[in-house]
Chain A
Amino acid sequence: MSNELLDIKKLETFFYTRAGIAKAVNGISLSVDKGEIVGIVGESGSGKSVTGFSIMGLVDPPGEIAGGSIKFKGEEIIGQTEEEWRSFRGAKVSMIFQDPMMTLNPVLRIDTQMIEAIRAHEKVSKKEARRRCVETLAMVGIPSPAERIKSYPHQFSGGMRQRVAIAIGLLNKPDLIIADEPTTALDVTIQGQILSEMQTLCRKTGMALIWITHDLTVIAGLAHKVAVMYAGKIIESGNVQEVLDEPLHPYTHGLIGSVPSRNKRGQPLYQIPGMTPSLINIPEGCSFRMRCPHADEICMKEPDETISDNGRMVRCHHPL
């Protein structure tokens, strides 16, 4: 239990829009241990990014955390004052976003942005802060960091920019990093470099990582644990090996079947019929009911989480 870093219980994040309440995160529970890499997988609109934002306290109106609890090292973080949030973000948990061009300020040099991030949390001299910045840039694999730190974001390539964003996330040695699709916009070889960088960092520093992605194949090689999200709920979670080898939920099964792979070359891919429901109008009962080949009357009732001894969770009336 002492190993537990983050414990989310029945978290609900709703967006109160004019069209109705969008239940982006609808009662999810998830725990992350120290040094653990957890993957959150889901399609667009499944609520995986909002989960990340909720942990960082970055949900803006009309969104609101409507219920549940998030405990970080045993302490509740929902309901912190804005001041407490500010010392929490970046220092204890930091987040890396999908598009590094949007997260870096284009009119400030990298050193300005990085030194600012350190001095926001600690009272250190500018010189000392710069030294740490250069060190961190070297750690994420930027060649000649002492010169490159004086560049503007546009002088970096996409992969390098993402490294800078990761370096900024690492500056204050957080215990947990939330990475929201950080490699989606990058090429395979650059994605490989970033994945390798993150993997070594986690192994070296004992930092935990939540990797949010739509790409099951990335999770397969990287994560220890995986949670599959669908329409605001985690519908299956557990050890990566077990979930990918023997998926219990029909949705996970369908997702895995729809990934093109060498075993099925030229064969039709498995199709999940229909599309993800609108979060404003989630069907009653099991939200996957409309697209599920096994659905029957009992699925009109919301399925509960069934958790087996080894921590494998599934939310389905007819697990495979």
Chain B
Amino acid sequence: MSDDKTPFISCKNLSRVFVKKLDFAGKIARTLGSKIREEKVQAVDSVDLDVMPGEVLGLVGESGCGKSTLGRMLCGILPSSNGDIFYKGNNVKKMSTKEALHYAINVQMIFQDPYASLNPRKRVNQIIGEAPLYHGLTTKKDLDSYLEDVMLRCGLDPTYKNRYPHQFSGGQRQRIGIARAMAVQPECLVCDESVAALDVSIQAQILNLFMDLRKELNLTCLFISHDLGVVEHISDRIAVMYLGRIVEIASVEKLFSEPFHPYTQALLNEVPRLDKRDVDFAPLKGEIPSPLDPPEGCHFHPRCAHAMDICRKVIPEIKETAPGHKTRCHLADV
């Protein structure tokens, strides 16, 4: 069914709208003729994305750009408003129950906050062991040795398996989160800001763990982060999001050496680096606009130095400027 050419997960035209329903008073006001309307946030706006088997795709963007929403939808834990998700070439919506279960197990998510994502009332062996036991990947009899394997692989001491999450440090908790995801032997991980809450030295440990696991098990990975340094380090390809749309996607080398979209260029300029000394900071002006009321045309035009008339009216199409390098900018047509 799947070979190297079929994307592991892909989405076509995927959108998600969050609507804040009117309350009772609002509804009455509307019936009486008030111009009040429901507030809509287009968190993800017709995104096409392919995650190829075995690759690490980095997804970067500022807070509120919809990168977590996109990750959650690809993972199947948040329904989409529009568009399709394909798992190994099959439309998720048209899958049989058995296939859908396979998809649910095979794509696992690791969350940002290791303090909020672990149930404080469960012991580590319950947290990690519940899913594989339920899905029949191990038996009650073999559970102990199975747990031991998973914990060792994620750098946890198996003798701690009867402890509660609060007895661990932040880095170890993140390892528990990873172990929980790895316990069902997934082929794909969606990591949502998984190292953002950690100290530099702990972050390095977790990143190394990711890279080891990936090499060992040939994992496919969607790595969501706002930290370009981290994404650059571990990804093969990078997609840049701005206000619900993907504005540029390219291989790491290409994106960092020849960024095309003005937003990507600005973002790369902003990354503080160890080897950049005594910088004269020349920041991007303005802020990310409110997704409640996004600018027309290209979302980036109010902050863009190259904005033309067409940018204010027409949404640019996503275009291939070089093999494998796609961008959504009117400058690509010039």
- Give CA–CA (A276, B280) in the complex, Å: 34
CB distance from B311 to the nearest CB of A (A): 19
Q: Are A258 and B204 in contact (CB-based, < 8 A)?
A: yes
B100 adjacent to chain A (CB < 8 Å)? no
Q: Are A187 and B288 in contact (CB-based, < 8 A)?
A: yes
Which residues in window 240-263 of A have CB below 8 A to B? 240-241, 244, 254-262
B205 adjacent to chain A (CB < 8 Å)? yes
A189 adjacent to chain B (CB < 8 Å)? yes
A-contact 0/1 string along B224-262, CB 8 Å cutoff: 001011101110000000000000000010001000000
Q: Are A217 and B208 in contact (CB-based, < 8 A)?
A: no
- Give CA–CA (A192, B272) in the complex, Å: 8
Q: Using A241-B277, A261-B229, A261-B233 as known contacts, say yes or no to A196 and B283 having CB atoms under 8 A apart.
A: yes
CB distance from B68 to the nearest CB of A (A): 14
Chain B residue at minimal CB-CB distance from A272: B201
CB distance from A235 to the nearest CB of B (A): 14
Q: Are B279 and A187 in contact (CB-based, < 8 A)?
A: no
The answer, among A196, A241, A264, for a CB contact under 8 Å with B233, is: A264
Q: Are B199 and A43 in contact (CB-based, < 8 A)?
A: yes
By a CB distance below 8 angstroms, the chain B residues around A214 are 199-200
The answer, among B226, B252, B275, B277, for a CB contact under 8 Å with A188, is: B226
Q: Using A189-B62, A275-B171 as known contacts, say yes or no to A215 and B267 having CB atoms under 8 A apart.
A: no
By a CB distance below 8 angstroms, the chain A residues around B283 are 189, 192-193, 195-196
Q: Using A192-B284, A196-B283 as known contacts, say yes or no to A260 and B232 having CB atoms under 8 A apart.
A: yes
Which residues in window 260-291 of A have CB below 8 A to B? 260-262, 264-266, 268-272, 275-276
B278 adjacent to chain A (CB < 8 Å)? yes
By a CB distance below 8 angstroms, the chain B residues around A43 are 199-201
A-contact 0/1 string along B260-295, CB 8 Å cutoff: 000000110111111111111111110110000000
- Give CA–CA (A217, B232) in the complex, Å: 15
Q: Are B279 and A221 in contact (CB-based, < 8 A)?
A: yes
Q: Using A214-B199, A260-B229, A268-B211 as known contacts, say yes or no to A189 and B284 having CB atoms under 8 A apart.
A: yes
By a CB distance below 8 angstroms, the chain A residues around B256 are 262
- Give CA–CA (A291, B154) in the complex, Å: 20
B202 adjacent to chain A (CB < 8 Å)? yes
B332 adjacent to chain A (CB < 8 Å)? no
By a CB distance below 8 angstroms, the chain B residues around A255 are 200-201
- Give CA–CA (A186, B74) in the complex, Å: 26
- Give CA–CA (A260, B267) in the complex, Å: 17
- Give CA–CA (A254, B203) in the complex, Å: 12
Q: Are B204 and A265 in contact (CB-based, < 8 A)?
A: no
Q: Are A271 and B270 in contact (CB-based, < 8 A)?
A: no
CB distance from A316 to the nearest CB of B (A): 17
Q: Are A256 and B274 in contact (CB-based, < 8 A)?
A: yes
B169 adjacent to chain A (CB < 8 Å)? yes
- Give CA–CA (A43, B201) in the complex, Å: 8
Which residues in window 192-225 of B have CB below 8 A to A? 199-205, 207-208, 211-212
Q: Using A189-B266, A259-B200, A275-B169 as known contacts, say yes or no to A265 and B281 having CB atoms under 8 A apart.
A: no
By a CB distance below 8 angstroms, the chain B residues around A144 are none
B321 adjacent to chain A (CB < 8 Å)? no
Q: Using A187-B288, A192-B284 as known contacts, say yes or no to A260 and B272 having CB atoms under 8 A apart.
A: no
Q: Are A188 and B200 in contact (CB-based, < 8 A)?
A: no
Q: Are B273 and A254 in contact (CB-based, < 8 A)?
A: no
B63 adjacent to chain A (CB < 8 Å)? yes
CB distance from A270 to the nearest CB of B (A): 7
Q: Are A221 and B278 in contact (CB-based, < 8 A)?
A: yes
Chain A residue at minimal CB-CB distance from B228: A188
By a CB distance below 8 angstroms, the chain B residues around A270 are 204
B-contact 0/1 string along A144-170, CB 8 Å cutoff: 000000000000010110000000000
The answer, among A159, A189, A216, for a CB contact under 8 Å with B267, is: A189
Q: Using A214-B199, A220-B275, A258-B200 as known contacts, say yes or no to A268 and B233 having CB atoms under 8 A apart.
A: no
Q: Are B272 and A218 in contact (CB-based, < 8 A)?
A: yes
The answer, among A199, A220, A257, for a CB contact under 8 Å with B276, is: A220
CB distance from A1 to the nearest CB of B (A): 25
A306 adjacent to chain B (CB < 8 Å)? no
A190 adjacent to chain B (CB < 8 Å)? yes
A87 adjacent to chain B (CB < 8 Å)? no
A44 adjacent to chain B (CB < 8 Å)? yes
- Give CA–CA (A272, B287) in the complex, Å: 37
- Give CA–CA (A221, B270) in the complex, Å: 11
CB distance from B59 to the nearest CB of A (A): 15
- Give CA–CA (A172, B280) in the complex, Å: 26
Q: Are B199 and A44 in contact (CB-based, < 8 A)?
A: yes
CB distance from B202 to the nearest CB of A (A): 7
By a CB distance below 8 angstroms, the chain A residues around B271 are 188, 217
- Give CA–CA (A253, B199) in the complex, Å: 15
The answer, among B62, B205, B274, for a CB contact under 8 Å with A187, is: B62
By a CB distance below 8 angstroms, the chain B residues around A222 are 279
Q: Are B287 and A271 in contact (CB-based, < 8 A)?
A: no
Q: Are B200 and A271 in contact (CB-based, < 8 A)?
A: no
- Give CA–CA (A275, B207) in the complex, Å: 16
The answer, among A187, A192, A258, for a CB contact under 8 Å with B63, is: A187
The answer, among B199, B208, B226, B274, for a CB contact under 8 Å with A271, is: B208
- Give CA–CA (A190, B267) in the complex, Å: 10
> A189-B284, A221-B277, A244-B274 provided; 5 other pairs, C-beta below 8 A?
A188-B271, A192-B270, A192-B283, A214-B199, A215-B200
Which residues of A does B touch, CB under 8 Å?
43-44, 157, 159-160, 187-193, 195-196, 199, 214-218, 220-222, 240-241, 244, 254-262, 264-266, 268-272, 275-276
19 A-B pairs in the complex with CB atoms less than 8 angstroms apart: A187-B288, A189-B287, A189-B288, A190-B62, A191-B272, A193-B284, A199-B281, A214-B200, A215-B272, A217-B272, A218-B272, A220-B272, A221-B273, A257-B204, A259-B274, A265-B233, A266-B211, A271-B205, A275-B169
